[in-house]
Chains A and B, each alone.
Chain A
Amino acid sequence: MQAIRSRFTFLFRSTKGLVLVAIAAIALVTAIFGMLSGPMVEWGVKDVVVRLLDLDLVPAEREGRIIMLYHAIAMAVVAIAVYLITAVVPMKPHEQATINATVTAGYILSMICGLAFAYLGHEWIFHGLWLFGLSLVFFAGILLAAALWPWRRDYQIKDTAYAHWGRIDLERAAFFTMAVATLGSAMFGAVTGSYWGNGHETFLAEDLIREPHKTNLEYSIIGHLHIMLTLIAVAVALIVGRRFDFKGPLHKISMPIMIIGTIVITIGAWTVVPIPPIAHMIIYFGSVPVLLAALFMVIFGFRKLIQEGLAKSGGRGFGASLKALVHDPLRFGMLWQMVFMNFTVSFIGIFVAVKLDEIFRVWPARDERLILTGHWHVLSGIVATIILFYYADMVGLKGKVRQWFGWLVIVGSDVAFASVTIFEVKRLFVSEADQQPVVNWTMALADIGLIVVLVMLAGLMVWRLVDLFKRDGQWRTELRHDPHVGIAQGDAPESLAAAQELSK
């Protein structure tokens, strides 16, 4: 019984355990539901899965199922972000415990019940529980925002190397701003969702791209999904910044503009409903400071990696610096993926916006739709890989395993995302009649890249699963060193010191 209890404590109370459970849940959902589309259909795998799981895939309900699937995965990603925030931003142990417990119950409930409702026939009790799960996640967000309140005296700035305004810690304020913006943006979607069946019909935003007139409910959903993904990206960027102990002059520029950018983008997304013609302009204005803040963080992180690498190797010059930069693929990967994101998401988005009428609106809607769905799937994938790097770094992969894992995920994901991006914009350089070879090799590379990433993820998960069966496995070490579980139990002064160190 003690063995089960200690493992349960690790999985559902320690930060590393909670993140592991959420990643495993996402991996499982991705593995199962990824078999229902794409090449899996052609290979006949979908039919087997449908039969095995007795799935009820009514064609008219496909869009609804996809929305439920998005929410199931998104809630787990939100939970991971919450766990990492409560671990790296100073707050009371009871706050952390309450927030983590609430968000965990919320995402697991919404994931299980949402998918059950969507894929196993429509038992409405599951729909109700799905909504209850989402509500719990929302409530956890309120608790998180309260815990992150930047004017709390206990958490005023002590080290002036970090961005501050008076005694206010601006990084904490950036986390707080993101949390409040996320809550408002979640409501933005929830209010619209409450009209479901009463004026609101299920749709995918990408299917409305060329509709000259959209309803307010449709605009709300479009705003909601865009801002939610953006705010998850902001949260992950802030978390990674903490990992690198981002500070100094660049930190002092980044944090204020990150706050301003987050507020402006959020307002832009919300104003899609009342004033759609200028909403995009507001979003553009907000995006610039957010991207700049992330850029400054990447510069800081790259410089830090180079310094660390050179200190180890003792080398000098450009070659040695480059080698030092990439000496640790996990930490390099977290930052590199943010840079790579610009090539596959930001630049593509800007190019499409600038040339929309001239090029992209001449193409069939299906081709324009490909770019939209492709680029936000890529953004989601990049966020996922950053989280994966963060987790692998957090659990301390070492030696050759660290190198192989890191590089295979970087190369695999970047090859996949680059191929998808080329596939999206193929019409720029190949006619529709001649596209088949391009379709074949881009899809092959995308599949190979994704398979590599998924194999790495599976390897990581299998290792952690096997480890859980060991009496003194890695999990026990992680539990022992989790500062917050230690504080909550009141029995680990060393852990308290570690927590304080984590909290600057």
Chain B
Amino acid sequence: MKRIGLIFVLIVASGLLAACGGKATAEPPIIDTGVDPESWAVVPAGEFLEGQHEHPTLVDYDYEIMVTDVTNAQYARYLNEALAAGAVKLVAEDQQIVGYYPGDEFRGAKHEERIDEGDWLHIDLNEKGLRLSFDGTTFTPLPGYENHPMVEVTWFGARAYCEYYGGRLPSEVEWEKAARGTDNRPFPWGDAIERNNANFYSSHDLYQKITDSRGGTTPVGFYNGKTYDGYKTLDSPSPYGLYDMGGNVWQWTGNVYEEQHYRYMRGGSKMEYEQWLRVWARNNAHPKYFGPSVGFRCARDIATTE
């Protein structure tokens, strides 16, 4: 019996060692996916099947949406421009970037919190998961993370980026139509998910080994059918050619709903199992929330670009 006890203790100890051991690589592999983060896709007007239960829903206008999530390089460039233009402010003592938001109507519903007019947090420079550096005047993406999605950004910060460039955060319906197209597919790329369709909990990609505060995301457009350092990806665009509409990072959407202050996110993330990558899966948080698994992309009206 003592021998059995010893074996048991050894099994437990080896399990724990396996879980906690192994030093995480701090530097991410630098990979150019070839997908342009500056590109936009047109989503034409028309009906699509919304939600898990496939309710026919009409979007009666054309719109454009970014092919990828906003990257660290793009957001750093924006911060530099917006700071110079006075569109956002640096609160030096708190090391925070804040910006104006006109506020939401408060209806006093249960659990509803006030989102008043004023300056709200966009990013917290103290946050360890942030992949930007700031030397007091200029923002720069951390080496290796230039083409990774911008994370640790609040809903206010995401909204401000899109509006600064004449766009907006996509509504939930816009986001879902862009992810699903007009058929009833559960995932942006089709009916089933393989581990190399997207960056999620079971994907075992090159970046999953980086378990430090900043790691885990893949460069935008990573799952495009190319093979990187022996890791073969499946080409996984949505019907309109969008990448990363499932996995990598949750994406803020723009709706402000009555009687609640929550803002909704879509798409699932690197930290989620496959069911959260289904096109109708939702997450939500307070608009001042930021995290290492939450990013965004923008939408805009076609007219704006003409």
List residues of chain A with CB within 8 A of the CB of B257.
212
Closest to A61 in B: B52
Residues on A with C-beta less than 8 A from B265 are: 364
Q: Which of A58, A210, A432, A436 contacts B291 (CB 8 A)?
A: A432
* CB 8 Å contact bits of A196-239 with B (1 = contact, 0 = none): 00000110000100101100000000000000000000000000
Contact of A444 with B18 at beta-carbon distance under 8 Å, contacts A210-B284, A433-B213, A437-B211 already known: yes
Whether A212 pairs with B293 at a CB distance below 8 angstroms is no
* A/B interface sample: 30 pairs, CB < 8 A: A37-B273, A41-B274, A42-B204, A59-B187, A59-B191, A59-B274, A60-B54, A60-B186, A62-B275, A212-B109, A212-B110, A213-B259, A364-B284, A364-B285, A364-B289, A364-B291, A365-B282, A366-B272, A404-B1, A431-B128, A432-B129, A433-B127, A433-B128, A433-B214, A437-B211, A440-B19, A440-B20, A441-B19, A447-B15, A448-B16
> In the assembled complex, which residues on chain A have CB atoms less than 8 Å from the CB atom of B186?
58-60
CB proximity to B under 8 Å, residues A359-374: 361-366
Interface size on B, residues (CB 8 A): 58
> Counting CB contacts under 8 A, is B145 at the interface?
no
Is B202 a contact partner of A42 (Cβ separation < 8 A)? yes
B273 surroundings in chain A (CB, below 8 A): 37, 41
Known: A433-B129, A437-B211. A277 touches B283 (CB 8 A): no
Q: Are A434 and B283 in contact (CB under 8 A)?
A: no
Contact among B53, B274, B289 with A201 in the assembled complex (CB-CB below 8 Å)? B53
A445 within 8 A of B: yes
Q: Determine the chain A residues whose CB is within 8 A of the CB of B213 once the complex forms.
A: 431, 433-434
* B261 (CB) vs chain A CBs: closest residue: A361
Contact indicator A363/B285 (Cβ below 8 Å): yes
Shortest beta-carbon distance, A429 to chain B, in Å?
15
Is B4 close to A, CB under 8 A? yes
Q: What B residues does A207 contact at CB under 8 A? A: 282
Residue of A nearest to B250 (CB): A364
B232 close to chain A: CB less than 8 A: no
Q: Which residues of A contact B202 (CB under 8 A)?
A: 41-42
The reply on A491 being an interface residue by CB < 8 A is no
**Measured between C-beta atoms, what is the minimum distance from B86 to chain A in Å?**
30
- Any B CB within 8 A of the CB of A357: yes
**A357:B113 contact, CB within 8 angstroms:** yes
B28 sits at the interface (CB 8 A): no
Instruction: Output the least CB separation between A35 and chain B (Å).
Output: 14
Q: Does A400 contact B (CB under 8 A)?
A: yes
**Residues in A whose Cβ lies below 8 Å from that of B204:** 42
Could you mark each residue 192-233 of chain B with 1 if its beta carbon is under 8 Å from any beta carbon of chain A, else 0? 110000000110100000010110100000000000000000
Known: A365-B262, A433-B129, A436-B211. A63 touches B52 (CB 8 A): yes
Is the CB of B170 closer than 8 A to any CB of chain A? Answer: no
List the A residue with the shortest CB-CB distance to B187. A59
Residue of A nearest to B213 (CB): A433
Q: Is A292 an interface residue (CB 8 A)?
A: no
Chain B 18-50 interface residues, beta-carbon cutoff 8 Å to A: 18-20, 24
| A365, B284: Cβ atoms closer than 8 Å | yes
Q: A363 to B288, alpha carbons, bound, how many Å?
A: 10
- A282 within 8 Å of B by Cβ? no
* A277-B110 Cα distance, complex, nearest whole Å: 9
Q: Which of B130-175 contact A (CB under 8 A)?
A: 152
Q: Which residues of A contact B11 (CB under 8 A)?
A: 448
Instruction: Check: B247 CB closer than 8 A to any chain A CB.
Output: no
What is the bound-complex CA distance between A210 and B282, given in angstroms? 11
User: Is there contact, CB below 8 Å, between A42 and B18?
Assistant: no
A14-39 Cβ-contact flags toward B at 8 Å (1 or 0):
00000000000000000000000100
Cβ of B188 under 8 Å from chain A? no
Other than the given A59-B191, A431-B129, 17 more pairs (CB < 8 A) read A41-B273, A42-B201, A207-B282, A210-B260, A212-B260, A362-B285, A364-B283, A364-B289, A366-B283, A404-B1, A433-B291, A434-B213, A440-B20, A441-B19, A444-B16, A444-B20, A445-B16
